Amino acid sequence: MTTAMRAAVLERPGKFKVGAVDRPQPRLDEALIRIDRTGICGTDIHIFHGRYAAEFLPMIPGHEFTGRIAELGPHVKGWEIGQQVVVDMNIGCTTCYWCRRNEVLNCPDMQQMGINIDGAFAEYIAVPARLLIAAPENTPSEILALTEPLACVVRAARKSRVTFGQSVTVIGAGPIGNLHVQLLRNIGVAPIIVTDINQSRLLMAKESGADIAVPPHRLKEAVLTATQGRGTDMVIECVGDSTLYAEALEVMRKGGHLAAFGLTGPDDEIDINIVQMILQENSIKGSVAGIGEDMHDALTLLTHHRIKTSPFTGAEFPLDDIQTAFDTFADRPDDLKTQIVM
Which residues, 164 to 223, sit near Zn ion by CB under 5 A?
Answer: none
Task: Specify whether the CB–CB gap between 70 and 81 falls below 8 A.
Answer: yes
Sign of CA dihedral 249, 251, 253, 256: negative
Candidate list 46, 227, 264, 296, residue with the active-site label = 46
184 φψ region: left (φ > 0), alpha (ψ -120 to 50), beta (else)? alpha
99 in contact with Zn ion (CB under 5 A): yes
Least separation in angstroms between residue 340's CB and Zn ion is 13
The distance of closest approach from Cβ of residue 233 to Zn ion in the complex, given in angstroms and rounded to an integer, is: 26
Q: What's the closest the beta carbon of residue 41 comes to Zn ion, in angstroms? A: 3
d(CA 244, CA 206): 21
In 3D space, the residue among 20, 111, 43, 33 whose CA is nearest the CA of residue 65 turns out to be: 33
Contacts with Zn ion, 148-167, as mask; x by CB under 5 A: -x------------------
User: What is the size of the binding site for Zn ion (CB under 5 A)?
Assistant: 8
Which of the following is catalytic: 2, 3, 38, 43?
43
Q: Rounded distance, CA 218 to CA 194, Å?
A: 11
CB atoms under 10 Å from CB of 63, counted, come to 24
Annotated active-site residue 43? The verdict is yes
Q: What is the rounded CA–CA span in Å between residue 171 and residue 109?
A: 32
Which one of residues 24, 61, 62, 92 is an interface residue with Zn ion (CB under 5 A)? 92
Residues 270-299 that bind Zn ion (CB under 5 A): none
Q: Which of 236, 210, 67, 78 is nearest to 147 (CA)?
A: 67
Q: Binding string, 24-63, against Zn ion, x = CB under 5 A? A: -----------------x----------------------
Among 60, 107, 202, 319, binds Zn ion (CB under 5 A): 107
Question: Using CB under 5 A as the criterion, which residues of the chain lie in contact with Zn ion when the complex forms?
Answer: 41, 64, 92-93, 96, 99, 107, 149
Indicate which residues carry an active-site annotation: 43, 46
